[in-house]
A = this chain, B = another copy of it.
Amino acid sequence: MKRQITIKDIAIKLGMSTSTVSRALRDHPDISPKTRAAVKELAALLGYRPNRIALNLRSNETRTLGLIIPEIEHYFFSAIINGIEEIAYKNDYSVMVFQSNESYKREVNNAQAVLTNRVDGVLVSFSKETKDFSHFQKLIDNEIPVVFFDRVTDELQADQVVSDDYQGAFLAVNHLIEKGCKRIAHFAAPQHLALGKGRLSGYHDALLKHSIPFNSDLIFHADTFESSRKIAHTILKRPDRPDGFFTVNDMSAIAVIKAAKDLNLKVPGDVHIVGFENSRSAALCEPELTTVDQFGYDLGREACQILLRRLKEKNSNFKPEKKVIRTKLVVRASA
Contacts and interface: CB of A to CB of B under 8 A. Distances in A.
Interface stretch (A34-42, A48-56, A204-212, A318-326): A48-56
Contact-residue size bin, chain A (C-beta under 8 Å from the other chain): 35 or more
Contact of A52 (B81, B118, B284): B118
A73 B74 CA distance: 8
A91 interface: no
A192 interface: no
A106 B118 CA distance: 21
Interface stretch (A15-23, A96-104, A230-238): A96-104
A312 to B, nearest CB: 13
A5 to B, nearest CB: 10
Contacts of A78: 72-73, 78
A91 to B, nearest CB: 13
Interface in A49-77: 49, 51-53, 60, 62, 64, 72-73, 75
A270 interface: no
Given A82-B73, A142-B47, A98 B99 contact: no
A210 B110 CA distance: 53
The number of times this chain is found in the oligomer is: 2
A254 B75 CA distance: 17
A81 B95 CA distance: 16
A281 interface: yes
Given A51-B53, A73-B78, A113 B64 contact: yes
Interface string A91-133: 0001111110100001001100101111000000000000000
A98 B94 contact: yes
Contact of A143 (B1, B101, B143): B1
A313 interface: no
Contacts of A109: 89, 94
A323 to B, nearest CB: 23
Contacts of A284: 254, 258, 281, 284-285
Contact of A141 (B47, B142, B281): B47
Contact of A97 (B64, B79, B97, B116): B97
A53 B141 CA distance: 21
Given A1-B60, A73-B280, A285-B285, 12 more contacts: A2-B142, A49-B115, A49-B142, A53-B53, A62-B116, A73-B75, A73-B82, A81-B99, A89-B109, A94-B98, A96-B117, A281-B284
18 contacts: A1-B143, A1-B144, A2-B143, A47-B138, A62-B116, A64-B113, A64-B117, A72-B72, A81-B99, A85-B99, A89-B106, A94-B98, A95-B99, A96-B98, A96-B113, A117-B117, A225-B280, A284-B284
Interface of A: 1-2, 47, 49, 51-53, 60, 62, 64, 72-73, 75, 78-79, 81-82, 85, 89, 94-99, 101, 106, 109-110, 113, 115-118, 138, 141-144, 225, 254, 258, 280-281, 284-286
